[in-house]
Each structure stands twice: as C-alpha cells, then as structure tokens.
Amino acid sequence: MIKPGDNVTFLVRTFRTIEGKEAWDFGDGIPKEEVRSDGNAVMLAKDGYAHTVHRYEKPEHYLVLGRTHQWTWRDGDHPAARPHR
C-alpha cells in the first residue's frame, strides 16, 4: 500500500524509435515531468528505461499517464499506472 510521502518509482520506455522522450502526468495537479529512455536503442536492455520517483501528499486514487513526445494529452487517454491509497 502506498502511503502519503512514500517514494513511488515509475519506469517508462518508448519503442520503435531511436530516441525516447516521455512525459509523466502524476494525476495530482503538479506539472508534467519529462524523462528520456533509450528509445529501445539496445533492444530490450534492462537499463533502457527512464525512471522517476514521485511522492503523493494525500491519500487518494490517482490516474497516472505516461506518454511519448509523439502523443498528445487528451481526455480518454489510457492509464499507464494506478497507484492506490
């Protein structure tokens, strides 16, 4: 169970490109955070994921979206992760 103030690690990786550029929307109103994976330059390399750590201040249900730079942010996007209280 994730508690307020806990570190939550998120991983993301873009495929079918040689340059990864991804963004996270953590669902709690803070600005989106940009990260950069290896874009699968080395096929399925374990260290090719971009990672970030986030902390939630309140015990809520959050919808977290991870997207590549090629996608736009819009209603109806599918969740990448759902951390729960």
On the question of pLDDT at 79 being above 90, the answer is: no
Between CA 47 and CA 27 the distance in angstroms is 26
On the question of pLDDT at 63 being above 50, the answer is: yes
pLDDT, mean of residues 1-27:
86
| Domain map (residue ranges) of the chain | 7-68
pLDDT, mean of residues 46-50:
87
pLDDT digits (tens, 9 = 90+) for 24-44: 999 999 999 999 888 878 788
Q: Shortest CA distance to 33 belongs to which of 8, 49, 52?
A: 52
On the question of pLDDT at 80 being above 70, the answer is: no
- Indicate the pTM of the whole model: 0.72
Which tops the pLDDT comparison, 56 or 37? 56
